[in-house]
């Protein structure tokens, strides 16, 4: 892939960072299915909301990891007018290297491109005000400045970093310094002074300007990112960056790498109902609430409760007389916490990781490029799953060494390749796949295929799959 720095002007390209894990929203958000891919408000996922609010700009560059690529591509297909560029990070190296990759990709499209960098997991209620601030930021960025958005604080929050700035005019401030997340007393001082804004983590900058600034302070990151991008390969709808080169990049954020060092940092004030939805208390704050301050999602009955967030995914949740609580019930985990302690969910996630618990990474329902499966029940030598295959999609041609499978069609039509034969099954029909038999499941219809799979055998792990053919490039 070529990289050129000719002086021209200038596409304005959204760069969507979709590699975060949202650990403080566990158990809803997990490593394999993080918060940006969930519908936490409105009819779209957070990633889709982010893309839609900048739909008037050029086609986005989206950065995500390999394991989430098919979910990301599927969600983008429903909201993108033009085909996006999806860059696959082979390993997380924080925002500075990720944006460098995007900068090289943008310059390939337009040497004078302006990047508008947004995390995929932020909520913005007033999109019109946001886009007015974005227009102001783009004009400042044209003058070779790096622009961030400073959210006008509505309260002394301790979960955000702060930026102190000096007002130049109504729309533009000069950044003076960055402050880490403060304690309550210091946060009150910041808000009272009127000099500080919340650090939004959003940026606008010319692609070439960004690389020049990064090269000034961390030249090795620019070198490794350039080499990584120049060696990238197209894989289906994705741009795959090689691991060996990109992994040499320092793990560092844009704030530490550039913004805290440069003299070219400017701030555009932002007052648009912004939240990074960083924990469950933030979710309670932005949710619609009853007169007693209870926010309910799902099948919830509450009696004499106040100032609480109650979320039930599938079964009935009943709360009586609770106050200032967060209760989140999923298929395989239940979280109960005081609203003031929801930042500590990160500690729970650390414990899950130390204990190698499956609840850290995955939900009971697991998404695949062809659809999903839900593990309904399991024992020592059996496992029952509900499998859903999207119209026109197929699983890989595969074989298992340690398990046999029995499939019963619930709805839709299944085309089953079993050995050298193909069998068409409809509702209430079934088929048995012996241990060691090559097989493939497809949905030839126009409606979702749902079936029940009963596995039996000595080992039932997902790694007991030998793939012979796969339409998604998996090995």
Instruction: Please provide the DSSP assignment of 23-55 as one string.
Output: GGGTTTSBTTB-GGGS--BTTB-HHHHHHHHTT
Q: Strands 274-275, 123-124: parallel, antiparallel or unpaired by DSSP? A: antiparallel
Closest CA to 369 of 228, 262, 232, 471: 471
Taking the C-alpha atoms of residue 352 and residue 411, their distance in angstroms, rounded to an integer, is 37
Beta bridge partners of 239: 87, 234
The CATH number of residue 410's host domain is: 2.60.120.10
Query: Looking at the domain assignment, is residue 413 inside a domain?
Result: yes
4 lies in some domain = no
Residues 176 and 243 reside in one and the same domain = yes
Residue 267 near residue 150, CB atoms below 8 Å: yes
pLDDT value at position 9? 57
Does residue 341 lie within any of the structural domains?
yes
Task: Note whether 349 and 433 are same-domain residues.
Answer: no
In the DSSP assignment, the letter for residue 182 is: P
- Residue 238 sits in the same domain as residue 315: no
Q: What are the φ and ψ backbone dihedral angles of 71, each rounded to 5 degrees?
A: -65, -45
How many structural domains compose the chain? 3
Identify whether 358 is part of a domain.
no
Residues 139 and 91 in one domain: yes
Of the candidates 323, 353, 383, which is a domain's last residue? Answer: 353
Cβ(65)–Cβ(89) below 8 Å: yes
The tens-digit pLDDT sequence of the chain (475 residues) is 444 434 445 899 999 999 888 889 999 999 999 999 999 999 999 999 999 999 999 999 999 999 999 999 999 999 998 999 999 999 999 999 999 999 999 999 999 999 999 999 999 999 999 999 999 999 999 999 999 999 999 999 998 999 999 999 989 999 999 999 999 999 999 999 999 999 999 999 999 999 999 999 999 999 999 999 999 999 999 999 999 999 999 999 999 999 999 999 999 999 999 999 999 999 999 999 999 999 999 999 999 999 999 999 999 999 999 999 999 999 999 999 999 999 999 999 999 999 999 999 999 999 999 999 999 999 999 999 999 999 999 999 999 999 999 999 999 999 999 999 999 999 999 999 999 999 999 999 999 999 999 999 999 998 999 999 999 988 7
Which H or E element spans position 405?
A: strand 403-411
- Shared domain check, 158 and 248: yes
Domain annotation covers residue 142: yes
Co-location of 288 and 271 in the same domain: no
Domain presence at residue 307: yes
pLDDT computed for residue 473 by the predictor: 85
327 and 440 both lie in a single domain? no
Q: Does residue 312 share a domain with residue 256?
A: no
* Alpha-carbon gap, residue 159 to 261, rounded angstroms: 23
pLDDT for 20 equals: 84
Same domain flag for 261 and 347? no
Claim to verify: residue 135 and residue 221 sit in the same structural domain:
yes
Containing domain of residue 464, as a range? 365-469
Classify burial at 424, counting beta carbons within 10 Å of its beta carbon; exposed 0-12, middle 13-18, buried 19 or more. exposed
Domain membership flag for residue 267? yes
User: Among the three residues 230, 260, 275, which one is the final residue of a domain in this structure?
Assistant: 275
190's tokens: 């910041």
Q: Is residue 5 part of a domain?
A: no
161 in the same domain as 37: yes
CATH number reported for the structural domain that contains residue 33 in this entry: 3.90.550.10
Identify whether residues 160 and 76 lie together within a single domain. yes
Quote the pLDDT of residue 315. 94
Tokens of 137: 């930021």
Domain boundary among 301, 318, 353: 353
Residue 356, burial from CB neighbour count under 10 angstroms (0-12, 13-18, 19+): exposed
Tell whether omega for the bond before 27 is within 30 degrees of 0, i.e. cis.
Answer: yes
pLDDT on residue 3: 43
């Amino acid at each position: 892939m070529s990289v050129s720095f000719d002086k021209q002007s200038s596409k304005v390209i959204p760069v969507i960072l979709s590699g975060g894990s949202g650990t403080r929203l566990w158990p809803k958000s997990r490593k394999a299915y993080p918060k940006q891919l969930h519908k936490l408000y409105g009819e779209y996922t957070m990633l889709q909301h982010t893309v839609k609010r900048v739909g008037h700009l050029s086609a986005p560059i989206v950065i995500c990891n390999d394991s989430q690529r098919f979910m990301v591509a599927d969600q983008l297909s429903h909201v993108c007018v033009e085909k996006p560029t999806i860059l696959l990070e082979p390993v997380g190296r924080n925002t500075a290297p990720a944006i460098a990759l995007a900068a090289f990709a943008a310059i390939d499209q337009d040497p004078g491109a302006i990047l508008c960098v947004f995390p995929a997991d932020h909520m913005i209620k007033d999109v019109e005000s946001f886009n007015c601030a974005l227009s102001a930021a783009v004009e400042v960025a044209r003058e070779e400045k790096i622009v961030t958005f400073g959210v006008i604080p509505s309260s002394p929050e301790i979960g955000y970093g702060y930026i102190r700035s000096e007002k130049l005019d109504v729309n533009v401030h000069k950044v003076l310094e960055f402050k880490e997340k403060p304690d309550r007393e210091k946060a009150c001082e910041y808000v009272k002074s009127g000099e500080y804004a919340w650090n939004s983590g959003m940026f606008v900058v010319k692609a070439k300007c960004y690389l020049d600034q990064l090269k000034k302070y961390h030249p090795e990151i620019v070198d490794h990112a350039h080499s990584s991008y120049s060696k990238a390969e197209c894989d289906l709808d994705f741009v795959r960056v090689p691991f060996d080169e990109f992994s040499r990049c320092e793990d560092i954020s844009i704030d530490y790498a550039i913004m805290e060092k440069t003299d070219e940092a400017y701030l555009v004030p932002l007052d648009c109902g912004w939240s990074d939805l960083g924990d469950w208390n933030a979710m309670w704050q932005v949710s619609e609430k009853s007169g007693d301050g209870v926010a309910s999602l799902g099948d919830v009955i509450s009696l004499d409760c106040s100032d609480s967030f109650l979320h039930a995914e599938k079964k009935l949740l009943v709360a009586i007389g609770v106050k200032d609580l967060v209760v989140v019930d999923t298929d395989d985990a239940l979280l109960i916490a005081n609203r003031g302690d929801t930042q500590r969910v990160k500690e729970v996630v650390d414990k899950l990781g130390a204990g190698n618990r499956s609840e850290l990474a995955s939900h009971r329902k697991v998404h695949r490029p062809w659809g999903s499966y839900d593990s309904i029940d399991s024992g020592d030598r059996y496992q029952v799953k509900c499998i859903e295959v999207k119209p026109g999609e197929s699983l890989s041609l595969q074989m298992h060494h340690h398990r046999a499978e029995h499939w019963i069609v619930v709805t839709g039509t299944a085309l089953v390749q079993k050995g050298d034969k193909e069998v068409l099954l409809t509702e209430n029909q079934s088929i048995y796949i012996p241990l060691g038999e090559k097989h493939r499941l497809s949905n030839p219809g126009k409606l979702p295929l749902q079936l029940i799979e009963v596995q039996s055998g000595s080992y039932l792990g997902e790694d007991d799959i030998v793939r012979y053919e796969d339409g998604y490039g998996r090995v």
